[in-house]
Amino acid sequence: MPRDLHPRLLRGFVATAETLHFGRAAERLHIAQQALSRDIRSLEQALGGALFARTTRSVELTPAGVRLLPQARRLLLLHDEILATAVSAGHRPLLLDLNSDVTGEDHTAGRLLAYVREAWPEGELLARFHGGLAAAAVELIAHRLDVSMGRFAGLPAAQRAQLVHVPVRLERMAVMMTIRHPLAGRTELPLADLAGYPVDVCAGNPATTEWAELGTRLLVEHGLEGAPPHVPPIGVDETARYLARHGEPMLTTTGGPQIPGTVTVPLVDPVPLSLLGLVHRPEPRHPGLDALIAASAELGGREGWLHRPAGSWLPAADAALLAG
């Protein structure tokens, strides 16, 4: 009976063979070590023999593993070349992550998608919703996604090294809360007025760790308290219930979704900013990516998306990306 080998299994094997360490290989691939070990076992079962000699202190290639390594590298290279050829020829749609299927009137990713679809009707862009850049980065590196948007500086260095960042917009940060919250009547909210009100930075959501890191940094630098982690909601209705249940202001941006029974209040003194960027793998480029970059330049130039107001707050790592 014919047997198929998923490229994921070979990528796991090559990473482990090159590091001779399951933990470091899993970190390189941005997957759990348990998942990597499971993939190696599946590959060994498919090929009918051990590829690694494991002890409590070391990992070594078996003779079968030594023979497989150059073959696996060649096969993965050919696999990537095939994908690159398809991309350059425009034979497949661009897979664009919008993070969430809940978008607001000024939602940057949603606006870019609509703009490109209208300007480039012969192309095809398919939206995906991975919940946050931390989750999407894994899919990008694994070639299961083409582009995402989010805070690049909040990703681990190992992931950033494999991806490319294009600054798109400095988004103004805000808090979203129920209309019954004591602070809900404000038109703007000085950061200092959040004292005594723990702020939800989505610390319980593994898909948005880059956002939680930004929110935690903002709160710590201004002497404010973060709310405890909660299981994240999905969708408009669940978010409305979530906010009503926990009663805590949630950190967001002014272009975020409109949730029934809630208000979004911009933060001031200082105005905190989040640098939103397009994130993708290096060359070769999909024509849809070029269209997205052109659209961000067009809309951003017209509306001043990368203009930083005087006295605003932005972490040094994000400012460095903006300057670069």
Residues 318 and 271 in one domain: yes
Rg (CA), the chain: 22
Q: Residue 230: how many CA atoms within 13 Å on its side-chain side? A: 21
Q: Which residue has the higher pLDDT, 88 or 95?
A: 95
Same domain, 48 and 181: no
**Residue 238 resides in a domain:** yes
**How does pLDDT run across 273-316, given as a tens digit for each residue?**
999 999 999 877 788 998 999 999 999 999 999 999 999 999 99
Q: Which residue has the higher pLDDT, 311 or 27?
A: 311
- For residue 284, whether the previous peptide bond is cis, meaning omega lies within 30 degrees of 0, is yes
Out of 158-172, 254-268, 306-320, least confident range: 254-268
Q: Which two tokens stand for residue 271?
A: 């105005």
- Dig out the tokens for 143 from the structure: 């070639």
Burial of 56 per CB tally in 10 Å (0-12, 13-18, 19+): exposed
Domain-located, residue 1:
no
Residue 81 has pLDDT above 70, yes or no: no
Are 125 and 47 part of one and the same domain? Answer: no
- Clarify whether residues 82 and 199 are in a common domain: no
Chain segment 168-200, per-residue pLDDT in tens: 999 999 999 999 999 999 999 999 999 999 999
Is 214 contained in some domain? yes
CATH number of domain containing 33: 1.10.10.10
Query: Stretch 94-115: mean pLDDT, rounded?
Result: 84
Q: Which of 57, 89, 121 is the last residue of a domain?
A: 89
- The percent of the chain in helix, strand and coil, each rounded to the nearest 5, is 45, 20, 35
25: three-class secondary structure by DSSP: helix
Q: Judge contact between 267 and 189, C-beta under 8 A.
A: yes
From 240, 241, 219, 236, select the one nearest 228 (Cα to Cα): 219
C-beta of residue 265 within 8 angstroms of C-beta of residue 187: yes
Instruction: Supply the pLDDT for residue 5.
Output: 82
Task: Flag whether 211 is in a domain.
Answer: yes
- Asked whether residue 75 carries a pLDDT value surpassing 80, the answer given is yes
State whether 72 and 189 are in the same domain: no
Average pLDDT, the chain: 90
Q: Say if CB 174 and CB 254 are below 8 A apart.
A: yes
Question: Does 89 score more than 60 pLDDT?
Answer: no
53 and 98 both lie in a single domain: no
From 65, 89, 113, give the residue that closes a domain. Answer: 89
pLDDT of residue 91: 59
201 and 129 both lie in a single domain: yes
User: What total number of domains does the chain contain?
Assistant: 2
> In this predicted structure, which of 74-83, 119-128, 235-244 has the lowest mean pLDDT?
74-83
The average pLDDT across 142-151 equals 93
Q: What is the pLDDT of residue 44?
A: 93
Question: Residue 1: its pLDDT value, please?
Answer: 37
2 within some domain? no
Mark which of 89, 122, 144 sits at the end of a domain. Answer: 89
Report the percentage of the chain scoring pLDDT > 90.
Answer: 64
Choose the most confident range, by mean pLDDT, from 22-31, 48-57, 101-110, 191-200.
191-200
CATH number at 196 reads 3.40.190.290
* 14 and 134 belong to one structural domain: no
Query: Does 198 reside within a domain?
Result: yes
Q: What is the pLDDT of residue 258?
A: 82
Report the pLDDT value the prediction gives residue 84, as an integer from 0 to 100. 58
CA distance 239 to 230: 12
User: For residues 155 and 164, what is the distance between their CA atoms, to the nearest angstrom?
Assistant: 12
Quote the percentage of the chain above a pLDDT of 70.
Answer: 94
Question: Quick check: is 215 in a domain?
Answer: yes
Q: Which residue range is the domain that position 73 belongs to?
A: 7-89
What confidence category does residue 27 fall into, taking pLDDT thresholds of 50, 70 and 90? confident
Highest-confidence segment of 93-97, 100-104, 285-289: 93-97
